[in-house]
A and B are shown apart, each in its own frame.
Chain A
């Protein structure tokens, strides 16, 4: 019964989303503020309804209600509770429901946001956002209903793909979805601005926190996905240039460009048309990612049962929203008042360079991801575009961007001075070069990429901190003056310094992967495998039973420089509930930010076992850096100027009223 009510709630949410989509636009047209504000309660109700539906599905998973087809196909009564719950979104239908739930959450947040959004902008944004929700609710109700019943109910479920029975499933998809879907709000803001024909610094300031939220979550989502793949797939890689990873990287690159271009728009009232285009493109790339992952044109761990009608439906949604918004852009963008041009050597000029490189890098990823699909469609030839392609295109675009980053960061608005900036950065440049030379000398004969990359990372961190220090200390003297300057500095300055330092940390981690080692051997208990200073000794191999699997455990002793440093357990699991599918659970032991990673291969008939040992110096920095980036973003959101009322509201009574007119500025209360 509850399941049927939840199904009904989905339909209700669709109806209310239609209201949220149509009525506010009509209200704005008629200058009727009451009608224009209907979107707000509608958005909140849609969220509540979807939250209920999602809660019911989760409950069905928790109690293993196999009369629900979705639960029967993807769960098992012997599965640990945490994986029953997270299994709610470990399948196509459930994950789409999570997708619209998050979309509705963002809608509700826009409706509730107490920062003074201009009414017209809020109404338009909610309406545009609702149009996307409508499309996805139709998709769920017609092709991917999670509430279908099975009669008779099977006694036991099919269980979840064992690779997904992991804590990673609890963290990675929700984070990533908040990121993906969060960009729908910036998209909705852009559409609202295009329809309204008005765009200014107020718009940029209103959009920026939402863009930052989406960006933070996307950053964390991608990085947690990468860590999950690293420990779960059992062969030590952290990024595979897999089309599905690229699908999340593209919106991240475009979103990163977007958070930088909105700064220019807010501070200098420039780059408007580009920013609008970027907002549209970022969400379009999120939609494209959903299409690639969900339609089954690509195959990966992210692709659940595929069904051609779903692919077609998502393709239609994709074309409708991307095509529609780009057409709207082509029609309306020329009417937006252009901002002025500015000096190429200035902070805004540097931000344009940033956007240029990010957009170009995004384009190369786009080509590398879609070219194989296009080629197959056109000629039938099957090709794969792998890491060599991306290393040859993406890296050469990213490295100059990272080298230029500190210069842009410490350059002044309007009129910058390249030489002066270089002088200010002299210390950071010096530290970077020293780090490169020092590490090169210490690891002489090793790969050259590592010291160069680490030098770049050190330069990024040093310049971010140096620039921040200069801003705080400046010409002030005495602890008191410095303290008051430190307090007075906007939080966004700390945020951007932290985020850029985070980039440096990640760069160091990536560069250090050049030092990673991999050894393979067939071992028997008592055997030892050594690489450099690290050695492992296989102590014993024994079977063990888990709730829904059996496993063979290899227990190793780790020695570093001949001293014992603890044990590692690495296992090979066989899931009896799922056709005896096997997974490798790597044993990982962390020393500082470096790791030793041991995974088991095949068990030979004579009892010996294939073992891979990896040493991963500084590996954790890759993910720690992304956490720091996210933290920097979070700090920026708390900046005062996003919380206080924008000046536009105070001005609006006297503000110009165009022929279309705004809703009455008199408050309704």
Chain B
């Protein structure tokens, strides 16, 4: 192999791998990205049934109904509510009145069928997306405003 051919072979293989990587990324970007919406977004942007997205907000007080393994509740941003149904074990920090992020598919009747309820790691922690969406609705109270001893 001449020097030129070697250089070509090396540059060529670099280009090939990078092109494959770029192709994979572009392909995956189209199919496997999930948007986040608050309840008001869902109503106002009139999101189509069958769309997969993340729904976040507060768990409406008094809306949690358990039936065996299935639980239904409403996610609210104090402006609009979206009913959610989920089958499985809820994370430890799932409580009424607290922030929640769920991922799933919107059904035709407006019911959100969640297949995952994301775990939080700290009782003071509010998912940032939820905090932003509450701020937008003007119902934001910063967490940790409890009195310091």
A397→B20 contact, CB < 8 A = yes
Min CB distance A543 to B, Å, is 17
Known contacts A299-B125, A356-B17, A360-B18: A305-B32 contact under CB 8 Å: no
Which B residues lie within 8 Å of A356 (CB)?
Answer: 13-14, 17-18
Residue B79 at the A interface, CB < 8 A?
no
Min CB distance B58 to A, Å, is 16
**Closest residue of chain A to B34, judged by CB?**
A384
Known contacts A520-B69, A522-B68, A581-B123: A393-B92 contact under CB 8 Å: no
Min CB distance A550 to B, Å, is 14
Residue B108 at the A interface, CB < 8 A?
no
Min CB distance B44 to A, Å, is 14
Residue of A341, A368, A371 touching B3 (CB-CB under 8 A): A341
Partner-binding segment picked from A155-163, A183-191, A276-284, A430-438 = A155-163
**Closest residue of chain A to B101, judged by CB?**
A384
For the complex, give the distance between the alpha carbons of A300 and B14 in Å.
36
Which B residues lie within 8 Å of A233 (CB)?
Answer: 119
Min CB distance B57 to A, Å, is 13
**Closest residue of chain B to A157, judged by CB?**
B149
A235→B119 contact, CB < 8 A = yes
Residue A632 at the B interface, CB < 8 A?
no
A379-419 to B contact mask, C-beta < 8 Å, 1/0: 00111111011001100110000000000000000000000
For the complex, give the distance between the alpha carbons of A604 and B88 in Å.
13
Residue B129 at the A interface, CB < 8 A?
yes
B24→A397 contact, CB < 8 A = yes
Residue A95 at the B interface, CB < 8 A?
no
Residue A420 at the B interface, CB < 8 A?
no
For the complex, give the distance between the alpha carbons of A446 and B74 in Å.
38
Residue of A344, A382, A388, A572 touching B13 (CB-CB under 8 A): A344
Residue A113 at the B interface, CB < 8 A?
no
B35→A381 contact, CB < 8 A = yes
**Closest residue of chain A to B126, judged by CB?**
A299
Which A241-257 residues have a C-beta within 8 angstroms of B?
A: none
For the complex, give the distance between the alpha carbons of A341 and B90 in Å.
58
For the complex, give the distance between the alpha carbons of A349 and B6 in Å.
10
Min CB distance B23 to A, Å, is 9
Min CB distance A271 to B, Å, is 11
A582→B24 contact, CB < 8 A = no
Which B107-149 residues have a C-beta within 8 angstroms of A?
A: 119, 121-123, 125, 127-129, 132, 144, 148-149
A584→B144 contact, CB < 8 A = no
A396→B92 contact, CB < 8 A = no
For the complex, give the distance between the alpha carbons of A610 and B71 in Å.
12
Which B1-41 residues have a C-beta within 8 angstroms of A?
A: 1, 3, 6-7, 9-10, 13-14, 17-18, 20-21, 24-25, 27-29, 31-37
Min CB distance A643 to B, Å, is 34
For the complex, give the distance between the alpha carbons of A367 and B54 in Å.
20
Min CB distance B142 to A, Å, is 11
Min CB distance A567 to B, Å, is 21
Query: Majority SS of interface residues in chain A?
Result: mixed
Which B residues lie within 8 Å of A364 (CB)?
Answer: 21, 24-25
Which A residues lie within 8 Å of B7 (CB)?
Answer: 341
Known contacts A163-B121, A301-B122, A385-B33: A581-B93 contact under CB 8 Å: yes
Residue A268 at the B interface, CB < 8 A?
no
A344→B6 contact, CB < 8 A = yes
Min CB distance B3 to A, Å, is 6
A388→B149 contact, CB < 8 A = no
**Closest residue of chain B to A600, judged by CB?**
B89
**Closest residue of chain B to A163, judged by CB?**
B121
Which A residues lie within 8 Å of B132 (CB)?
Answer: 382
A383→B36 contact, CB < 8 A = yes
A601→B90 contact, CB < 8 A = yes
B10→A341 contact, CB < 8 A = yes
A342→B93 contact, CB < 8 A = no
Residue A332 at the B interface, CB < 8 A?
no
B28→A389 contact, CB < 8 A = yes
Which A residues lie within 8 Å of B35 (CB)?
Answer: 381-384
For the complex, give the distance between the alpha carbons of A342 and B3 in Å.
8
Residue A489 at the B interface, CB < 8 A?
no
Min CB distance B116 to A, Å, is 10
Known contacts A341-B7, A364-B21, A393-B24: A385-B89 contact under CB 8 Å: no
A583→B92 contact, CB < 8 A = yes
B34→A392 contact, CB < 8 A = no
Which B63-106 residues have a C-beta within 8 angstroms of A?
A: 66, 68-69, 88-90, 92-93, 103
Known contacts A397-B24, A602-B89: A161-B54 contact under CB 8 Å: no
Residue A439 at the B interface, CB < 8 A?
no
Which A residues lie within 8 Å of B89 (CB)?
Answer: 520, 599, 601-602, 610, 612
Min CB distance B69 to A, Å, is 6
Which B residues lie within 8 Å of A382 (CB)?
Answer: 35-37, 129, 132
Residue of A341, A342, A388 touching B28 (CB-CB under 8 A): A388
For the complex, give the distance between the alpha carbons of A578 and B92 in Å.
14
Which B residues lie within 8 Å of A361 (CB)?
Answer: 21
B residues sitting closer than 8 Å to A (CB atoms) are 1, 3, 6-7, 9-10, 13-14, 17-18, 20-21, 24-25, 27-29, 31-37, 54, 66, 68-69, 88-90, 92-93, 103, 119, 121-123, 125, 127-129, 132, 144, 148-149
Could you list 6 further interchain pairs (A-B, Cβ under 8 angstroms) beyond the known A382-B36, A393-B25, A582-B92? A163-B121, A235-B119, A356-B14, A360-B18, A364-B24, A582-B93
Would you mind naming 7 contact pairs between A and B with Cβ atoms under 8 Å apart?
A305-B144, A343-B6, A384-B54, A393-B28, A521-B69, A582-B93, A602-B89
